[in-house]
Structure 1
């Protein structure tokens, strides 16, 4: 594991992190170390595991869910994803996050 940064292409919608810009559509270009990519992958995993918990819960109507901790987990993980992308991203990535107000929209939902 090194501290040298490499270029990665990120697709938030499907949790894709790749070094190849041609593999599939991507939204964000970042420069990150191995450790930063491991952290980003961890946040993506949190979002997807929470999504699955919510999916299963919705299939089981007898489970009460008067509070929504899974949604809070997803919001927190999404917030951290966009914060990381903003910090590590190129100018186009930062501009996209600013103009789409991606971090602000998550804050407004809380």
Structure 2
């Protein structure tokens, strides 16, 4: 399948082929299947984020003991890993320099 250029905004969960449509953080090359998978990861993270929001109203469970937070954190790591794998050299360098993905890449 042919790969196309996409621009990703991690905070907003946006995936766009138009460079100037939104602010973006990362540039990737992906085919339709890969973009579908990335969209699914963003959607899962969005759902986990809402679950965490509602759970936050129950203050007796600390963050690191709450399994809902594990789902969000794991989902975010999967998003970063996929963006890293599909990213251009600048994207890969930026993610690598952040040091958050050391255990998941290369």
Same fold (TM over 0.5): yes
How many residue pairs get matched?
101
1:16 is matched with 14
SS at match of 1:10: strand
Compute the TM-score of the two structures, normalised by the length of structure 2.
0.86
Aligned partners of 2:61, 2:97: CA distance in 1, in Å?
35
**Structure 2, unpaired ranges of 5+:** none
The alpha-carbon deviation at position 45 of structure 1 amounts to: 1.0
Asked whether 1:41 is paired with 2:39, we answer yes
Q: How much has 1:46 moved relative to structure 2?
A: 1.4
- Counterparts of residues 22-33 of structure 1 (less than 5 Å): 22-33=20-31
Give structure 1 stretches of 5+ with no counterpart: none
CA distance in 2, matches of 1:56, 1:9: 30
TM-score (norm 1): 0.83
Moved over 3 A (4+): 64-67
Superposed CA RMSD: 1.6
C-alpha distance in 2 between matches for 1:76 and 1:18? 24
